Chain A
């Protein structure tokens, strides 16, 4: 079953076509990553799915409901983390969570949410005194407190230090373990590679590639082999890394010498992404 289905989605702002015919679906229980550079149409797309914006064309079903006309019962089932983290600065962490828990008919216990997002040491701290990373974790907590089935995370770790990102990833993996469906937008490729079951790369309002991260990196571009010969760096791109490496090392072995500075690199999602979202040459 699909938690989200999008067919031919279109949205323009004046003359600017922000989203030009998107098709994708998010299956129940998976983490789906929407990747793309700034201005590609990610946030517009997500905000249409969240019910914030009206679409100009196409079909959208989120939890079997059209978000453009969805009501309170539907909002019970979704959790939203927006790009900007907005809260009542004068409340404490638990007061903030308790306030939002009250909006839902079957909320998750506030203490449990505090633990889940790792804010137990800050539970009685005023929101205004939290660090950026702590605020973002409270953001996530506020999206979780209604115990939703589907969670939208719009760039959840932007501005995090590496440790805070690892912690956030653990939390998101934990959510997946609880059976939640997650739609994640990010421009960090490692984040998508780490978290997402499937990804779609979006550029200029269209999907340019989609699939499992391993499928995306499994095709082109080719494996890269680098080494030094006579002080010169040699870079080979090949679709047959096994044969090329065998030739190279066999040759070196026959002459009883090391291949200097040998590096074999599989294309990362970042390489795929960069080649897909390349700006056309002027």
Chain B
């Protein structure tokens, strides 16, 4: 427990120090929210207020951005540089390390959500979400599932140089297709078919149901199940492909 708290403090400091990462995975969702919100926040999208619709999408984008992309890139870099190998030689237990790492990304995402909600309120007059317990549960589910997928993908990437490229190639198209930035209803059939299997699609549907329709999380069985199932897939891959040591050469 003491080791866990110590490592969590260390991880938070490391997160604050990582400027490139903080920009791309932490600030970018907020910047996109401001840009897209200014462009068509006052339109009506799928029958909802544009800014509110976008805010829910941006929270989904923020989750995949911070928890999936940020975590996967950091893990690959730490593994390939040999930091993970070095940590293995210390008495720090692996579960304490992984938990502290996850919690630091969860904390970053929590700050991200609060910032997006505040931006929405101040700039676009979006109401603060009312179904707070349901929303918190949904976000927790999402961030844990995307963290699991992030660790899984990190296990499949072999080099630090390729980490950013590979991760971006997955999560940026996914963010588009799943409707973070627009309504997916205007997409052609092929894209919608792809969207129908992606975890982010269901996570954004879940968040929109809670934020736009005022639904509670327990009425959203399908969305919750699909996100959770993807989380389990991520976990299985993570357990099989995770390694502490860099790939040689």
Contact = CB atoms under 8 A, between A and B. Distances in A.
Contacts of A51: 88-89
A78 B89 contact: yes
Contacts, number: 59
B82 interface: yes
A99 B85 CA distance: 16
Interface stretch (B10-18, B44-52, B112-120, B141-149): B10-18
For chain B, what secondary structure do more than half of its interface residues adopt (helix, strand, loop), or is it mixed?
A: helix
B6 A88 contact: no
Interface string A67-90: 000001101101010101111101
A88 B83 contact: yes
Nearest to A83: B82
B86 A82 contact: yes
Given A102-B3, A102-B6, A52 B88 contact: yes
B14 A90 contact: yes
Contact of A104 (B82, B90, B93, B246): B90
For chain A, what secondary structure do more than half of its interface residues adopt (helix, strand, loop), or is it mixed?
A: loop
A222 interface: no
B133 interface: no
Contact of B82 (A50, A73, A86, A142): A86
Interface magnitude class on chain B:
20 to 34
A86 B82 CA distance: 5
Nearest to B21: A90
A104 B92 CA distance: 8
Interface in B86-131: 86, 88-93
Nearest to A79: B89
B106 to A, nearest CB: 20
Q: Which of B7, B82, B86 has the most CB of A within 10 A?
A: B86
Given A86-B81, A91-B17, A102 B91 contact: no
Interface string A94-107: 01000110111100
Interface string A210-236: 000000000000000000000000000
Nearest to B97: A103
Interface of A: 50-52, 72-73, 75-76, 78, 80, 82, 84-88, 90-91, 95, 99-100, 102-105, 142, 146
Given A84-B246, A104-B91, 5 more contacts: A52-B88, A80-B89, A88-B14, A88-B17, A104-B90
Going nearest first, the 6 A-B pairs with the smallest beta carbon separation are A86-B82, A90-B17, A102-B6, A72-B91, A80-B89, A103-B90
